[in-house]
Amino acid sequence: MGNTSNDETDRRLNLTVGLVVVIGVACVAWAVSSVLDATVPAPWFRIVSVAAMLGLSDRATIQIRIKDSHHVVGMQEAVILVGLMLLPGPWLVLCTAVAITIAKATTRTPVVKQLFNTAKNTAVVAAAVGTAGVFGLSGPFSTTRDELPAIIAAALAIIVVDEALALPVIALATRTPLITLFRANVDVRVGGMVLRLALATFGLFWFSRYPALIVVVPLVIVGLQIMTANQLRARAERAAWQKLAQATDEFNEVDLSAVLSSAVTRASELFSSDEAEVEIANLSVPDRLVRGDSTGIGYSGAVQGAPPADGHVIATALESHGGTTSIGELRLRFRGKVTLNEREEYTLRTFAAALCTAIRNAAAFAEAQRLSDHHAYAASHDPLTGLSNRRHLYEVGAKLLSSGAKGQLGLMLVDLNHFKEINDTLGHAAGDQVLAEVAHRLAASAEPDDLVVRLGGDEFAVLFSGIAAPALALPRANAVLAGLTPPIEVDGMRIVVEASAGVALAPFRGGVDELLRRADVAMYQAKREGRPVDMYARSRDTADIGRLALSVELPRAVAEHEFTVNFQPVVDLGTGEMISAEALARWHHPQRGDLNPNRFLDYVERSGLLAAFSEAVLDQALRAAAAWNADGFAVPVAVNISPRSLLDPSFPEAVASRLEVAAVPAETLIIELTESLTLSQLDVVDEVLGALRDLGIRLALDDFGTGYSSLATLARVPVHELKIDREFVAAMEGSAEAAVVRSTIDLGRSLGLLVVAEGVESERQRGRLWELGCPAGQGHLFGRPMPVHRLLATLRRGYDGRPGALAPSLHESGEVIRMPVRRPGARQDLG
């Protein structure tokens, strides 16, 4: 497109120059014809004088560069006006044509320019002669005051014709708008014309009386030329410094793009170049090239992607004051060869120095802005998944709640089930892959206006906006959760990720905190009821203000010994005799009665009172064991321990201290570890477990089979017992569940571990477990949790006259070989 436009401009330029040449040739032909027909002899002295003055005025010119073209400002107009009073019109035309041709031939001006200048000046003279004749100028040396209008008209004709023939050609040659050229130095041109008109007026009254004054004309012409040159030079310098000042003012921008754009347009205007470009490198911002002219930017982008550019280039480096570090280059591009004068070179160096400083400042600001944006993004987004984080959720949620946006606001809280097992089994790198994929799927399934958040760990949230009706919240949540259904492939393995979610709608009070709490309540309700997603309902909210009040009462409960322990027996399935008892903590609240641990245990773990709570439970459990041991029932007691206790290196010492206070041997205590809350891989956990085992304390793995990492945990933790989760026992009639129970029993037997089945509710289950080889069981069939005094009374009473028995024997004494209920020896550690 650009080449087509340039070709069209060149064609128009050639046509215009050709037209001017044709006009000049026509004027010369008219002059020759008129001279040949005239009867007046040729005034040779005056012809030679005028020709000399014309040649002198052509050589004594002022050069003005416009882009790659140099144009001259001469004094031919003054000489022409003087010549009108010295020569007949035809002779003046011929004299002009010959003088200009000879003057141009002595220079290195291209032939085309010679022809154009000669033709133009010849046409200007012919126009002046014709205009003067029209207004009554009768001839040389016969002028009077009445002919002053003719001289003025001729002067105006010179201006109009000279501008009409020269400006279009200059505009086309330099690709400069015609109106711009016309306005440039118009006052100087008009002032010069006034001086030349004054010179003509002087000649009108004095040349006819004193012909010798003709020798003064060259001196006057030179003086006028020097005065005009000085005026133009001063004007150019003022304009250059004004433009330079404007450019450096624009460099005060802190936006790098604005600085580079200003540099290109201002440089092209200031140095009258066809194009200018700035290339930057070696900065904290990406390398870049910006190219354009005084009208605008043509290219801005990477250096490698810039289109090729032709022409003569004047380049200057953008470097530090010492010249040691270059950050790029400023280039002025011209279609033809151009040499800058001394003033322009100094201006270019000053411009480049100011630009270098501006680019450095803008680049530093851009880097600071980038770091600020990065930090702002990092502060509001999760680094692993790229999702928004909790802080951003609070900011956006608070804004939406306060803005009164259309529709209702809702929050979906998503928790991945058994994600810890993925980390423990496949490693944290695989776990990170799963989290990233879950984040991607949640974001893809959510609507565009929803905010998907990673709250931490394996917990995510989706902030729903614009819910038209409360009934639509649950289907919207199900649609998001459905995105997690397809298996995720990690290191060639296909993993099915299950999640539980809770949905809550924005409350009238409480803000984002209350919205999160309600979604958390709904999510745990979904977990308890085995549903993928559940909606918050106030009627099922156990984590209400009353529950929060419990956390405030915890210190008092510990101090006043409100935590009590009940005991549920574990029996030999074959004989029905109690072989151990599990301690189950209760909070005997003075107003609310006995509270189950799931009502308060989370608050205990977060309150800093976990150690005191654990010691209170251990004390009561060990005192109970001492009591029934003293009564002749030498069986141990099992106590559930919070996984957080295993992160406390001082926990084994606390247990040893409790054993010493209760005066019972270490084997009296069994510590149960919850398998569904998989143990951390931290070294401190291994040390704590090792220390407990070294004390002689037995370890049991509770809820075995409910997590992905059951076998991995069993291989790592030195346990003595396995407890089969009650869900498998309850569903044992199914083939899959029976297989799990059977395999667990076989595994325990092969490892020399005691296997205990939880949730035994009927004799049918007891018989089935015994047939599968399970030696021990626990459940309501044998006894519900009870205080220690009731358990002792029950043991003393026994069953069918057998103290210590809680159920009938499945066989007669001596009829079968009893299975061992305790390990015969130490288990070999699994490697």
| pLDDT greater than 70 at residue 89 | yes
Indicate the average pLDDT of the chain.
78
What is the sign, positive or negative, of the torsion defined by CA atoms of 452, 455, 460, 465? negative
Q: Mean pLDDT lowest for which of 291-295, 734-738, 800-804?
A: 734-738
| Rounded-to-integer distance, Cα 178 and Cα 170, Å | 8
Contact 506, 399 (CB under 8 A): no
Per DSSP, the three-state class of 237 is helix
- Amino acid, single-letter form, for residue 805: A
pLDDT at res. 247? 66
Angle of helix 76-86 relative to helix 111-134, nearest 10 degrees?
50
- Least confident residue range of 154-163, 520-529, 576-585: 154-163
511 or 452, higher pLDDT: 452
- At the topology level, CATH places domain 2-238 in Arp2/3 complex 21 kDa subunit ARPC3 (1.10.1760)
Note the pLDDT tens digit of each residue in 216-261: 555 555 565 556 556 556 666 666 666 666 666 677 777 888 888 8
* CATH top-level class of 251-376: alpha beta
Q: Tell me if the pTM is above 0.75.
A: no
Is residue 828 over pLDDT 50? Answer: no
Q: 151-182 pLDDT, tens per residue?
A: 778 777 877 887 787 778 777 766 667 676 56
| Eight-class DSSP state of 214 | G
CA distances from 767 to 155, 746, 780, 784 (A): 132, 17, 15, 20
Domain ranges of the chain: 2-238, 251-376, 390-543, 564-797
**Beta-bridge mates of residue 587:** 563, 595
Contact by Cβ (8 Å): 396, 460: no
CATH number for region 390-543: 3.30.70.270
The helix/strand/coil state of 466 is strand
The predicted pLDDT at position 689 comes to 86
- Banded model confidence at residue 354, pLDDT cuts 50, 70, 90: confident
Question: Can you give the three-state secondary structure of 41-78, one letter per residue?
Answer: CCCHHHHHHHHHHHHHHHHCCEEEEECCEEEEECCHHH
Mean pLDDT of 558-580: 90
Least confident of 361-375, 636-650, 654-668: 361-375
For residue 614, what pLDDT band results from cuts at 50, 70 and 90? confident
Task: Average the pLDDT over each of 19-28, 245-254, 640-649, 766-775 and give the range with the smallest value.
Answer: 245-254
For the cut 80, the answer to whether the pLDDT of residue 596 exceeds it is no
* Overall average pLDDT of the 702-711 stretch: 62
pLDDT of 439 > 50? The answer is yes
Higher pLDDT, residue 159 or 784: 784
Q: Which residue's entry shows tokens 């012409």?
A: 221
Q: State the alpha helices, DSSP H only, in 60-208.
A: 76-86, 89-105, 111-134, 148-174, 178-183, 186-206
Mean pLDDT confidence for 17-42: 79
Q: The domain 564-797 belongs to what CATH superfamily?
A: EAL domain (3.20.20.450)
| pLDDT tens sequence across 814-825 | 554 444 444 333
